[in-house]
């Protein structure tokens, strides 16, 4: 993917990717900003450029040019995210020993659906009408299926996650008052002032390496309650390569439900 920077940024401006598509940059001027300028992804395929009122178009153009590589990375990550969340008839979702299958049922009318569950085999099949698979319904369908899947794997998955956390705490001789699992939207874990550690249930969708990293991150907080240099040095001692994994967690697909075609 190559982003070609236009000669002028209009309000709103556009960055053409190729002849078939373009990426929008919405420029928001602020009188409160003196010199700072920032560019952020809007979550819908475009970007928002926050700039001081005094900023000239040429200056903003130069800023965007310097951020081109970052923009390409964000757009590629968004494409990957959409691909891993796309649900079609025949899609399969498998986590922690539970299998969820998605099938088309043309006899059903939206929003009706039916579920065939086999507890002994630890699997279920959702039969959905065609209207569920249209683009506008994809995000809603994904969220609902992810919620269902998490409910199926939560009991057994939490038990295994807590066992692993206890194992690492014992190995590093770190005393923790309590480990517990809780479902949260984004925060993967936290350590309270009295050393109670929460692990997000969404970690059940993550690799074991990421699970171990989050466990070690919170274990390090039993000694350092902030993110100081001393904290990162201690964490690196407990879990070599921590910084690199921490940066990778900016990609939420690493701890979200993934679809197998």
Residue 83: predicted pLDDT? 66
Q: 182 lies in which domain range?
A: 92-255
**119 and 38 share a domain?**
no
Sign for the pseudo-dihedral over CA of 128, 151, 246, 92: negative
pTM (2 decimals)? 0.72
Distance (Å) of CA 194 to CA 90, 158, 179, 185, 233: 48, 22, 12, 24, 22
Q: Has residue 192 been placed in a domain?
A: yes
Q: Has residue 119 been placed in a domain?
A: yes
SS3 (DSSP) at 62 = helix
Where is the domain boundary, 53, 83, 113?
83
Q: What is the largest CA-CA distance in the chain?
A: 66
Q: Has residue 209 been placed in a domain?
A: yes
**225 and 132 share a domain?**
yes
Convert the pLDDT of each residue in 8-59 to its tens digit. Answer: 444 444 444 443 346 778 888 877 776 788 888 876 678 888 888 888 888 8
What is the rounded average pLDDT of the residues 78-98?
Answer: 83
For 18-51, give one letter per residue: b (16+ CB within 10 A) or e: eeeebbebebeeeeebeeebebeeeeeebbbbbb
Residue 182: predicted pLDDT? 95
């Amino acid at each position: 993917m190559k982003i070609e920077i236009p000669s002028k940024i209009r309000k709103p401006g556009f960055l053409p990717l190729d002849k078939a598509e373009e990426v929008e940059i919405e420029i928001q001027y602020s009188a409160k900003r003196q010199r700072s300028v920032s560019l952020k992804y809007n979550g819908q395929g475009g970007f928002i450029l926050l700039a001081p009122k005094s900023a000239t178009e040429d200056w903003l153009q130069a800023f965007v040019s310097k951020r081109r590589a970052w923009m390409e990375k964000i757009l590629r990550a968004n494409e990957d995210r959409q691909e891993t969340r796309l649900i079609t008839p025949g899609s399969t979702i498998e986590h922690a020993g539970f299998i969820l299958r998605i099938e088309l049922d043309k006899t059903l009318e939206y929003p009706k659906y039916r579920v065939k569950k086999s507890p002994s085999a630890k699997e279920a099949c959702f039969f959905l009408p065609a209207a569920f698979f249209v683009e506008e319904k994809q995000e809603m369908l994904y969220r609902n299926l992810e919620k269902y899947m998490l409910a199926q794997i939560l009991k057994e998955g939490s038990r295994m996650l807590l066992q692993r956390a206890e194992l690492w705490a014992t190995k590093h001789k770190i005393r923790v008052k309590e480990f517990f699992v809780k479902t949260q939207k984004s925060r993967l874990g936290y350590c309270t002032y009295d050393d109670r550690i929460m692990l997000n249930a969404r970690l059940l969708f993550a690799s074991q390496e990421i699970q171990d990293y989050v466990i070690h991150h919170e274990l390090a907080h039993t000694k350092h309650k902030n993110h100081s240099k001393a904290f990162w040095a201690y964490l690196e001692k407990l879990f070599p390569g921590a910084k690199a994994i921490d940066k990778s967690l900016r990609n939420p697909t690493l701890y979200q439900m993934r679809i197998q075609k």
